[in-house]
Structure 1
Amino acid sequence: MINPAIHNKVIWITGASGGIGEALARELAADGARLVLSARRLHELERVKASLANSQQHLLLPLDITDVNAVSAAIAAITQQIGGLDWLINNAGISQRALITDTTAQTDRTLFDVDYFAQIHLTRSALPLLLADGGGKVVFISSVAGLVGTQYRGSYSAAKAALHLWANSLRAELFDKGLQVATIFPGFVKTDVSRNALTGDGSALGSMDDAQANAMTAEAFAEKAVKALLKGKNYIVIGGLKERLGALVSRLSPELMYKMVRNSKVR
């Protein structure tokens, strides 16, 4: 069903070839948005596009977000082919499944390059388009891990926390220009994120965590996320009871949260 609040909005989603990004694309396309879909795998983007409502109106821009020249080319393509941008959803990212003592410095850098530096560079590059008509919306997909920090996700948690705080600064600095900035903190969602997560040496884990396998679907996540964004929420935690509780305790009692994390069993 077309949603007047989204109808004909131009929304750019990174990491749109699967998981949360694909689910967000389906939800927003069904609401009538005109999408720009980016990811590294063109064939997967083509599959996603073909499945969307009004598929012909959506633009595919294959993109490695860590490539600054490719980001510049993508911005130019949106400017030339569409002429504007209403929302940017920074969803591309990579997770981690390795103890701190087993993680190399290069793996740390890779996680930060993808989950922090590439995302803030892309956002900064897109600001002129977003602000051209008096303000747009930037959405960052962080993580509950970026609020609490957990075992096996040291650098991933740190990068997601850095993204959250950079978003806070962006929101404060550009509020008067009409820019809305929202950060979403997913808990476990049933996607391939753990299969693709980096181990200590930088190789992919290649298997799905039990918590991931039994988590909410990406479609359920997307429905909750879009609903919250349309209500104007800027701090959005979406997950099971344990994740929501952890996010709440991290704000109210950090010392208690440290104990909870220490005693939890995560992988």
Structure 2
Amino acid sequence: MTFKNKVIWITGASSGIGKGLVLALSKLDCQIIISSRKETDLNLIKQLCPKPENIAILPFDLANYENMKLIVATAISLFGSVDLLINNGGISQRSLIIDTDISVDKKLMEIDYLGTIALSKALLPHFIKNQSGHYAVVTSLMGKFSSPYRSGYFGAKHALHGFFDAMRMEHEKDNVKVTLICPGFVNTNIAKNALIGDGSLQNSQDKATENGLSITEFSTRMLKAIKQEKFEAYIGKKEILGVYLKRFFPRLLHRFVIKSQVR
């Protein structure tokens, strides 16, 4: 795959990984649609790009997943097509199961899972019509294994893997590609913006996130994986070993994660 002359749509584009992807792609010969709930932040990011005329802003909320057909129609109208959808929008969680109200689990599923698949399903007829399209889905290493304090978040990420693996199989005949991106720790505000048990924000950083990959390095490695049309890409530091421990030595991973006391 090449990004040249492509129309690329990025959700969760107002900060963190999404912002890093916008800044990296804006240096290339492509057009970009940037989306999140925060229109003011999107406008600021657009002005940071070398060719702001190649950036279109489309604010919306993933939680409003009943409106995705209209959102997709608007997106297509901006540059006449969409070639690559980078599903990056979402929220995280930091609370024990016993302390987490079910409303928090519901919100995580509505935004991280239902919002993402509703948007992707609404765009699918466009991809089928063009006999071409690519979904890149930012899940997590925790879409492959789990740890304490993130049960609802991990549930949504595991669900994304199940859905998009099926999408890849069903629409291979339509030349629709799926790349699942599984980040480890990346130095973003994901922990600060994570929900705690009562649904409020954690508002604090954690050491593991702070010591994670830089957004620039992560974005570079993610875009390389998309260009290579990988099925899955694990991007992080030593934490990616958890994927292989889960597969071959699940009890060892269990003991390791408990001892690590990751928050």
Same fold by TM-score greater than 0.5: yes
Answer with 68-77 or 99-108: which moved more.
68-77
Q: Distance in 2 between matches of 1:108 and 1:20?
A: 23
What TM-score, normalized to structure 2? 0.96
Q: Which runs of 4+ in 1 moved over 4 A?
A: none
Match of 1:122 in 2: 119
For 1:259, the equivalent position in structure 2 comes to 255
Which shifted more, 93-102 or 72-81? Answer: 72-81
In structure 2, which of residues 26, 33, 53 is the aligned counterpart of residue 29 of structure 1?
26
- Rounded to whole Å, the distance in 2 between the matches of 1:167 and 1:250 is 21
The CA distance in 2 between the partners of 1:175 and 1:48, in whole Å, is: 35
**Counterpart AA for 2:203:** G
TM-fit CA distance, 1:127: 0.7
2:108 to 94, 102, 111: 111
| Cα separation, 1, equivalents of 2:29 and 2:127 | 19
Tell me the residue number matched to 2:222: 225
Please give the residue correspondences for 1:60-79 in structure 2 after superposition, counting only pairs within 5 Å.
60-79=57-76
Aligned equivalent of 1:131, options 106, 128, 133: 128
Q: Residues of 1 paired with 2:91 and 2:119: CA distance?
A: 16
RMSD (CA atoms)? 1.3
Residue 51 of structure 1 corresponds to 48
Query: Which residue does 1:7 correspond to in 2?
Result: 4
Deviation at 1:108, TM superposition (A): 0.7
Give the number of aligned pairs: 263
Unaligned residue ranges in structure 1 (runs of 5+): none
CA–CA distance in 1 between the matches of 2:73 and 2:124? 13
How many percent identity over aligned positions? 35
Q: Is the 8 A contact 2:9 2:85 kept in 1?
A: yes
Matching residue of 1:82: 79
Q: Which amino acid aligns with 1:45?
A: L
Q: Secondary structure at the match of 1:74?
A: helix
One-letter amino acid of the counterpart of residue 265, structure 1: Q
Unaligned runs of 5+ in 2: none
1:263 partner amino acid: K
Distance in 2 between the 1:128 and 1:25 partners? 25
Structure 2 counterpart SS, 1:148: coil
Given candidates 155, 177, 180, the residue that maps to 2:177 is 180
